[in-house]
C-alpha cells in the first residue's frame, strides 16, 4: 500500500516587514500554541536569520539543557488523556532532507489554561516532564499519563544555530491526543496531498461563528466565494489556493488565512534484488549506487532516496545518515524509500541485500602477439576475448576508439594503438572490469644462428640456437628441435653427437618457422661391428676440413699398438696382421690441429669392437 504523507503546517512562524524576518516564540512571554496528530507538523527553527534571542532567558530551570541556543517556546493542550509520544526532528530542508541538525528540548507541566507559564517557579525542575540533550537530529519526547485539558510547555533549541526546519509528529496516535482548537486560524502554508483524491481543510476555532471559503481564480487574479461552503471544514479535490474568512460576531472580529493545496502521486520505487561490491575485502559500500535502479521508474523529477538498516528503523524514520560510506556486511538487508523533493511524498519501501559479485576468471594477458611481415602487415587474423554468457556486455577499445561490442573481437589488420582494452560490464550488479593487453607485433626470423661449444673428445658438444633479425624479439616465444627430433622449449642442446645436423625453431604464436644451415660436428664412433654386413664394419674418426688430423693410433687394452690409421682412408677393419681380433675395448690416440684456432691438441679415449 502506498504511504500517504501529508505535511500540515499549522503555525505561522514568520512575518515579513521591510524585507526582515523575525522569529516568534523566542521568549516565553511570546509562547505559541501548537498541536500534533498523526500528520507531521513542520515549521522553521529559530536561528541567526530570524531571531536575536541567542540563548535562553534567565529564570526557568532548563533541566538537562546545558545550553539553550536560539530557543523557541510552545505550549500544547491535551484533548484525550493518555501516554503521548512525539518524534521531534530538525533538518536543513522542510521535507526532512538535507543536513541533519542537532535538536534538543525540555517539557514542563502540567499547567491549567490561563496559568502564568513563564515564571521561574512555574518552570521549575520539579515540573520537568521530559528532557534531552543528545547530539541527534531526531529525538523522542514523552508525556506520560497526560490528562484532558492539561497544558504543557515545550522549549525546542537549535544547537547548531543554523537555519533549518523542525518537525513534530505524534508517533503513538490512539493513546491520547492534543487539542488543535487552541490555535488561532491557520490553514497552513503549502500542503502536499499524496495518493489521495481529497483533502479536508479544517479552520475550526473556538470563537468563530461564521465561515466563508474562497478559491483563487487564476483568470481574474481574485478569490471566488465557494457557494454553499459555510462550515469550519472544506473538502478539497483540486489543486488551488484556498482562503477562509472567519468572523467572531460577539467580538465583531474577522480573521482570514489561505493555503495552497497540491495533489501528487507518490513516487514508485524500482525493484532491486541486491547491491554488489565488485571486489573482495571492501570495508564500506556506497548505498547511493542503487539510486538509478530505485528512482528510475519515475522518470524526470527531483528525488532523494532514504536508506534504513531495519524495518524498525524504517517505521521510526531513523534513516542511515551517511549512505555513501556504509560499513559493508555480506548479506545485510537494507530498506529504502524514494522521496519526491517537490511534494515530500514517499514511495513504498523496497529491500535489497548487500553481497560481493564474483566475476568469472578472465584475462587478456600482459601482451597479445600479432604475427606480421617485415612491412608490419598482419599475416593471420587474431582473435581476443572470451564469451562469459548473456549477462555481460563488452566494449573493445583501440586507440580510444570503440571497435566492437562483441564478446570476442577478431583483427584482420594490426591495431592502430599500442594497446587494446576491453570493458566488461555486468548490468545486474553494476560491476565492471577493464582489461588491457599490449599489442606485440612479431615477425618471422631471417636467421637462426648456431653456436657450438665443447668437443666429442671431451664432455661432448653443446649447441645453442638463436633466432635473429626479426620484429618483436621481446615478445616472441620459440621451441626448438635437433634434426627431426622432439620439440623442446630450450634453445640449448647438450651432448650432441658428431655428424651433420640442423636445428629448427618455430614461433609458438604461429609467427614463423626457420631452419639453420647444416653444421658438422667432429667426433668418433663409440663402437663398430666388423661382420661384413655393410654397416659399421670399420672404425675411423668422424671429421671434416675444420680438423687437421696429424696422427691416429689404435691400441689394445694392454697398450699394444694395433694400427696407425689414415683418417682419410676407410679405417680399421678389426684385424691385426690379417687376423680378426676379439671383441673387446680398444683405445685410440689422436693428435690434431683445430684449423679455426690453430691450436694443437691430443686426445685419448676408448671404443668397443663388437662381434
Contact 123, 57 (CB under 8 A): no
The confidence score (pLDDT) of residue 232 equals 92
The confidence score (pLDDT) of residue 471 equals 96
Does some domain include residue 87?
Answer: yes
Rg, Å, the chain Cα set: 49
Whether residue 351 is found in the same domain as residue 391: no
Residue 35 CA to residue 22 CA, distance in Å, equals 22
The domain boundary residue, chosen from 310, 325, 356: 356
Q: Is it the case that residue 288 has pLDDT exceeding 60? A: yes
Residue 268 CA to residue 338 CA, distance in Å, equals 7
First to last CA, the chain: 106
Whether residue 391 is found in the same domain as residue 436: yes
Whether residue 247 is found in the same domain as residue 124: no
Give the chain's mean pLDDT.
88
The domain boundary residue, chosen from 443, 475, 499: 443
Residue 182 CA to residue 34 CA, distance in Å, equals 8
Contact 15, 358 (CB under 8 A): no
Contacting residues for 562 by C-beta, under 8 A, at least 6 apart: 554, 555, 556, 572, 576, 581, 586
Torsion 536-541-543-545 (CA) sign: negative
Q: How confident is the model at residue 488 (pLDDT cuts 50, 70, 90)?
A: very high
The confidence score (pLDDT) of residue 3 equals 28
**Cis peptide bond upstream of 481, omega within 30:** no
Whether residue 204 is found in the same domain as residue 164: no
The confidence score (pLDDT) of residue 431 equals 83
Q: Is 389 left (phi over 0), alpha (psi -120 to 50) or beta?
A: left
SS3 category, 28: helix
The domain boundary residue, chosen from 264, 288, 315: 264
- Find the range with the poorest average confidence among 22-36, 87-101, 131-145, 596-610: 22-36
* Burial tier of 309 (Cβ tally within 10 Å: 0-12, 13-18, 19+): middle
Contacting residues for 363 by C-beta, under 8 A, at least 6 apart: 435
The confidence score (pLDDT) of residue 11 equals 30
Whether residue 50 is found in the same domain as residue 138: yes
pLDDT digits (tens, 9 = 90+) for 510-541: 999 999 998 888 889 999 999 988 889 999 98
Q: Is it the case that residue 335 has pLDDT exceeding 90? A: yes
pLDDT (mean) for 39-63:
89
pLDDT digits (tens, 9 = 90+) for 171-193: 887 788 887 655 567 787 789 99
Bigger pLDDT: 423 vs 42: 423
Does some domain include residue 185?
Answer: no
pLDDT digits (tens, 9 = 90+) for 307-330: 999 999 999 989 999 999 999 999
pLDDT (mean) for 259-264:
94
Bigger pLDDT: 177 vs 103: 103
Q: Is it the case that residue 17 has pLDDT exceeding 70? A: no
Does some domain include residue 126?
Answer: yes
CA 199 to chain CA mean position, Å: 44
Centre a 10 Å sphere on the Cβ of residue 180 and count the other Cβ atoms it contains.
Answer: 21
Does some domain include residue 275?
Answer: no
Partnered with residue 450 across adjacent β-strands are 465
Contact 187, 246 (CB under 8 A): no
Contact 6, 39 (CB under 8 A): yes
pTM of whole model > 0.95?
Answer: no
Whether residue 417 is found in the same domain as residue 458: no
Contact 142, 105 (CB under 8 A): no
Whether residue 120 is found in the same domain as residue 37: yes
Q: What is the CATH number of the domain that holds 38?
A: 2.60.120.380
Contacting residues for 309 by C-beta, under 8 A, at least 6 apart: 320, 334, 335
Angle 596-602-607 (CA atoms, 0-180°, nearest 5)? 110
SS3 category, 295: helix
The confidence score (pLDDT) of residue 250 equals 55
Does some domain include residue 12?
Answer: no
Centre a 10 Å sphere on the Cβ of residue 538 and count the other Cβ atoms it contains.
Answer: 15
Contacting residues for 12 by C-beta, under 8 A, at least 6 apart: 24, 186, 189
The confidence score (pLDDT) of residue 25 equals 77
Whether residue 100 is found in the same domain as residue 157: yes
Whether residue 46 is found in the same domain as residue 158: yes
Contacting residues for 154 by C-beta, under 8 A, at least 6 apart: 73, 74, 75, 76, 105, 106, 107, 141
Does some domain include residue 307?
Answer: yes
Range of the domain at 560: 527-609
Q: Counting runs of H as helices and runs of E as strands, what totals does the chain give?
A: 2, 47
pLDDT digits (tens, 9 = 90+) for 534-574: 889 999 988 877 778 889 999 999 999 999 998 888 899 99
Residue 41 CA to residue 270 CA, distance in Å, equals 29
pLDDT digits (tens, 9 = 90+) for 463-486: 999 999 999 999 999 999 999 999
Residue 232 gets which letter from DSSP? S
Residue 131 CA to residue 420 CA, distance in Å, equals 66
Q: How confident is the model at residue 359 (pLDDT cuts 50, 70, 90)?
A: confident
Does some domain include residue 549?
Answer: yes
pLDDT digits (tens, 9 = 90+) for 214-238: 999 999 999 999 999 999 999 999 9
Q: How confident is the model at residue 582 (pLDDT cuts 50, 70, 90)?
A: very high
Whether residue 33 is found in the same domain as residue 173: yes
The confidence score (pLDDT) of residue 10 equals 30
Residue 233 CA to residue 256 CA, distance in Å, equals 14
Q: How many CA atoms lie within 13 A of 133 on its CB side?
A: 8
The confidence score (pLDDT) of residue 253 equals 67
Partnered with residue 506 across adjacent β-strands are 479, 513
pLDDT over 70, % of the chain = 93
Contact 72, 23 (CB under 8 A): yes
Whether residue 439 is found in the same domain as residue 414: yes
Does some domain include residue 284?
Answer: yes
Contacting residues for 120 by C-beta, under 8 A, at least 6 apart: 59, 60, 61
Q: What is the CATH number of the domain that holds 433?
A: 2.60.40
Specify the number of domains making up the chain: 6
Work out the widest C-alpha separation in the chain, in whole angstroms. Answer: 164
Q: Is it the case that residue 19 has pLDDT exceeding 80? A: no
The confidence score (pLDDT) of residue 16 equals 26
Q: How many CA atoms lie within 13 A of 472 on its CB side?
A: 26
Residue 368 CA to residue 370 CA, distance in Å, equals 7
Q: Give 98-145 as a 3 state SS string.
A: CCECCEEEEEEEEECCCCCCCCCCCCCHHHEEEEECCCCCEEEEEEEE
pLDDT over 90, % of the chain = 65
Residue 582 gets which letter from DSSP? P
- State the DSSP H helix or E strand holding residue 313, giving kind and residue range, or none if neither: helix 311-315
Whether residue 434 is found in the same domain as residue 484: no
Residue 75 CA to residue 152 CA, distance in Å, equals 5
Nearest to 230 by CA among 206, 215, 202, 210: 210
Residue 413 CA to residue 399 CA, distance in Å, equals 14
Amino acid at each position: 500500500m502506498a504511504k500517504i504523507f501529508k505535511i500540515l503546517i499549522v503555525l505561522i512562524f514568520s512575518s515579513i516587514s521591510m524585507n526582515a524576518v523575525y522569529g516568534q516564540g523566542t521568549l516565553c512571554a511570546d509562547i505559541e500554541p501548537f498541536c500534533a496528530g498523526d500528520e507531521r507538523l513542520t515549521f522553521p527553527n529559530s536561528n541567526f536569520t530570524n531571531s536575536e534571542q541567542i540563548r535562553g532567558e534567565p529564570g526557568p530551570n532548563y533541566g538537562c539543557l546545558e545550553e539553550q541556543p536560539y530557543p523557541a517556546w510552545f505550549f500544547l493542550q491535551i484533548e484525550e488523556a493518555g501516554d503521548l509520544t512525539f518524534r521531534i526532528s530538525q533538518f536543513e530542508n522542510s521535507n526532512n532532507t538535507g543536513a541533519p541538525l542537532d535538536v534538543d528540548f525540555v517539557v514542563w507541566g502540567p499547567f491549567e489554561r490561563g496559568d502564568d507559564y513563564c515564571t521561574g517557579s512555574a518552570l521549575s525542575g520539579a515540573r520537568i516532564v521530559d528532557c534531552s540533550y543528545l547530539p541527534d537530529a531526531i529525538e523522542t519526547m514523552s508525556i506520560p499519563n497526560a490528562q484532558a485539558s492539561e497544558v504543557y510547555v515545550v522549549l525546542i533549541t537549535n544547537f547548531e544555530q543554523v537555519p533549518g526546519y523542525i518537525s513534530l509528529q505524534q508517533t503513538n496516535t490512539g493513546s491520547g491526543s492534543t487539542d488543535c482548537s487552541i490555535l488561532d486560524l491557520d490553514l497552513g502554508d503549502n500542503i502536499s496531498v499524496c495518493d489521495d483524491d481529497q483533502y479536508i481543510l479544517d479552520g475550526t476555532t473556538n470563537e468563530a461563528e461564521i465561515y466563508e471559503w474562497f478559491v483563487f481564480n487564476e483568470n481574474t487574479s481574485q478569490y471566488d466565494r465557494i457557494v454553499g461552503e459555510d462550515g469550519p471544514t472544506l473538502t478539497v479535490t483540486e489543486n488551488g489556493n484556498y482562503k477562509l474568512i472567519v468572523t467572531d460576531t460577539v467580538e465583531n472580529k474577522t480573521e482570514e488565512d489561505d493555503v495552497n493545496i497540491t495533489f501528487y502521486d507518490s513516487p514508485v520505487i524500482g525493484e532491486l534484488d541486491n547491491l554488489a561490491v565488485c571486489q573482495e575485502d571492501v570495508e564500506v559500500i556506497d548505498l547511493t549506487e542503487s539510486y538509478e535502479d530505485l528512482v528510475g521508474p519515475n522518470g524526470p523529477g527531483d528525488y532523494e532516496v532514504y536508506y534504513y538498516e531495519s524495518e524498525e528503523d524504517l517505521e521510526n524514520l531513523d534513516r542511515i545518515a551517511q549512505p555513501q560510506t556504509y560499513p559493508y556486511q555480506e548479506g545485510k538487508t537494507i530498506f529504502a524509500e524514494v522521496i519526491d523533493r517537490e511534494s515530500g511524498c514517499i514511495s513504498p519501501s523496497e529491500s535489497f541485500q548487500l553481497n560481493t559479485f564474483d566475476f568469472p576468471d578472465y584475462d587478456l594477458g600482459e601482451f597479445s602477439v600479432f604475427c606480421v611481415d617485415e612491412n608490419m602487415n598482419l599475416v593471420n587474423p587474431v582473435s581476443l576475448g572470451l564469451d562469459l554468457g548473456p549477462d555481460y556486455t563488452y566494449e573493445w577499445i583501440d586507440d580510444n576508439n570503440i571497435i566492437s561490442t562483441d564478446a570476442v573481437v577478431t583483427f584482420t589488420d594490426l591495431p592502430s594503438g599500442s594497446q587494446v582494452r576491453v570493458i566488461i560490464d555486468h548490468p545486474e550488479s553494476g560491476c565492471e572490469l577493464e582489461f588491457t593487453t599490449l599489442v606485440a607485433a612479431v615477425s618471422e626470423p631471417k636467421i637462426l644462428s648456431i653456436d657450438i661449444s665443447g668437443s666429442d673428445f671431451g664432455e661432448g658438444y653443446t649447441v645453442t640456437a638463436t633466432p635473429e633479425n626479426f620484429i618483436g624479439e621481446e615478445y616472441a616465444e620459440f621451441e626448438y628441435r635437433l634434426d627431426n627430433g622432439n620439440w623442446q622449449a630450450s634453445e640449448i642442446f647438450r651432448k650432441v653427437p658428431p655428424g651433420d645436423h640442423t636445428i629448427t625453431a618455430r614461433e609458438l604464436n604461429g609467427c614463423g618457422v626457420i631452419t639453420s644451415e647444416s653444421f658438422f660436428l667432429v667426433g668418433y664412433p663409440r663402437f663398430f661391428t666388423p661382420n661384413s654386413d655393410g654397416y659399421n664394419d670399420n672404425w675411423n674418426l668422424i671429421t671434416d676440413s675444420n680438423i687437421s688430423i696429424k696422427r691416429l693410433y689404435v691400441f689394445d687394452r694392454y697398450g699394444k699398438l694395433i694400427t696407425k690409421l689414415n683418417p682419410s682412408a676407410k679405417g680399421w677393419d678389426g684385424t691385426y696382421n690379417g687376423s680378426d681380433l676379439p671383441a673387446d675395448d680398444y683405445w685410440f690416440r689422436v693428435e690434431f690441429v683445430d684449423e679455426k684456432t690453430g691450436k694443437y691438441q691430443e686426445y685419448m679415449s676408448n671404443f668397443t669392437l663388437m662381434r
